[in-house]
Structure 1
């Protein structure tokens, strides 16, 4: 059985809603999906997964959340190589530069990043949540 872990940080609940939809989309009869906030997760969750999804909103000047998510991402850079990885997050301003930077960073760590990362402005609507489910489904096929 394929193991997928969806790890996220959310301040307002927007990225959490996206994470739940990604996990829902990844779920099928051949897949075990774990949904964890970054504060509940560990490097072992990534090591033991066949595929990983990470979610974080844009913060400040288009960066990852700095107290929990940034240190976690830094900690997994050495173990993510070769794993399929989906990146997603919400934003309220800017043009998505934080996601572009995050995709490049994870590709540089050897992860097999799906697409360009999924970003949704503010609260995801039904269409946005459907995109999250598709992302999860695509991750489960990797």
Structure 2
């Protein structure tokens, strides 16, 4: 059975809702899914999975959460080139610049992104949840 890690950080529950929607869609395709916080995922875990979805909301000045998520991602990002990866997260201000910056960072390291980063304004509405399902489908097709 294929296996995917959905690694995310959520402060308000918005990104968590996206993670759960992505997870449920993957499970509907008979893919084993593990929902993990950033402190539970290391470079050594990468090979356990056929694909990985990373979720983090915009924080501060349009950046990744700095105490847990950013250190974890900085440690593993150079080891992701052989895995299909999905980036997702929510925001409540500005225009989603943090996702564009995160995506460009991954592209510079040849991370195999299955699509452009998925963003939702505030709590994901029905359209954003549908986009989560479509993104999960793209990840499923890539593993």
With structure 1 as the length reference, what TM-score do the two structures score? 0.93
The residue that corresponds to 2:64 in the other structure is 64
- Determine the C-alpha separation between the residues in 2 that align with 1:116 and 1:138: 11
Structure with greater proportional helix content: 2
Structure 1 stretches of at least 4 aligned residues deviating more than 3 Å after TM superposition: none
Is residue 26–residue 138 contact of structure 1 (8 Å, CA) maintained in 2? no
* Post-superposition offset of 1:45: 2.7
| C-alpha RMSD over aligned residues | 1.3
- Determine the C-alpha separation between the residues in 1 that align with 2:30 and 2:76: 25
- Determine the C-alpha separation between the residues in 2 that align with 1:65 and 1:21: 21
- Bigger shift: residues 55-64 or 35-44: 35-44
Structure 1, unpaired ranges of 5+: none
Structure 2, unpaired ranges of 5+: none
CA displacement, residues 7-33 of structure 1 (integer Å, 9 cap, x when unaligned): 000000000000001111122454211
The residue that corresponds to 1:48 in the other structure is 48
With structure 2 as the length reference, what TM-score do the two structures score? 0.92
**SS of corresponding position for 2:124:** coil
The residue that corresponds to 2:21 in the other structure is 21
Matched pairs, number: 142
